[in-house]
């Protein structure tokens, strides 16, 4: 009557051992999976942030970091020959009377263009910018930064 006790206990112990063993294996697998997943997530987020920062700076036409990233990425940039074909001139404020008609602003660095500064006049739309500012922009874009019109028109479009 009292002989089935020990066997029952042994079975219990066996079961417990098996259970704990399988738990340990599961824990290890889960830990490895979690580590891999977190590594992947961190990598993806890092890449996304880098891309967002690069495009954001380039889009806003930032002066420092934007210039570096814009010159590195050479997508859809204007060819040097097409760039030099854009007329370059020394800005003259002009003798026009009338309020606001005598000055111009560079939309890239947001500074007022002063008399005698060298500017480029985009033939497609007539917008003008500092030579340094627009050259930097046109190395990675083929459009006017102000109105997005194609710079150089058909010639540039055919080349790309």
Strands (E), the chain: 88-90, 104-105, 112-113, 118-121, 128-130
| Residue 144 interacts with Zn ion (CB under 5 A): yes or no | yes
Fill in the DSSP letter of residue 64: S
Residue with Cβ nearer Zn ion (67 or 77) = 67
From 53-61, 72-80, 82-90, 129-137, give the range in contact with Zn ion by CB under 5 A.
Answer: 129-137
| Residue 17 interacts with Zn ion (CB under 5 A): yes or no | no
Adjacent-strand bridge partners of 128 = 121
Residue with Cβ nearer Zn ion (29 or 111) = 111
| Residue 131 interacts with Zn ion (CB under 5 A): yes or no | no
Q: Please give the Cα distance from 140 to 72 (Å, whole number).
A: 8
| Residue 83 interacts with Zn ion (CB under 5 A): yes or no | no
- In angstroms, give the least distance from the CB of 77 to Zn ion: 17
Q: Please give the Cα distance from 158 to 136 (Å, whole number).
A: 22
């Amino acid at each position: 009557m009292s002989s089935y006790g020990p066997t029952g206990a042994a079975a219990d112990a066996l079961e417990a051992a098996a259970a704990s063993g399988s738990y340990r294996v599961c824990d290890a697998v889960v830990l490895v999976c979690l580590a891999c997943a977190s590594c992947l997530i961190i990598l993806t987020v890092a890449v996304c942030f880098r891309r967002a920062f690069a495009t954001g700076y380039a889009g806003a036409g930032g002066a420092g970091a934007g210039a570096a990233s814009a010159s590195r990425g050479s997508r859809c940039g204007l060819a040097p020959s097409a760039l030099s074909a854009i007329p370059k001139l020394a800005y003259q404020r002009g003798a026009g009377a009338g309020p606001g008609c005598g000055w111009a602003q560079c939309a890239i660095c947001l500074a007022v263009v002063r008399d005698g500064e060298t500017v480029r006049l985009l033939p497609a739309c007539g917008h003008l910018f500092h030579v340094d500012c627009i050259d930097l922009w046109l190395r990675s874009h083929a459009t006017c930064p102000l109105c997005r019109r194609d710079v150089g028109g058909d010639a540039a479009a055919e080349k790309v």
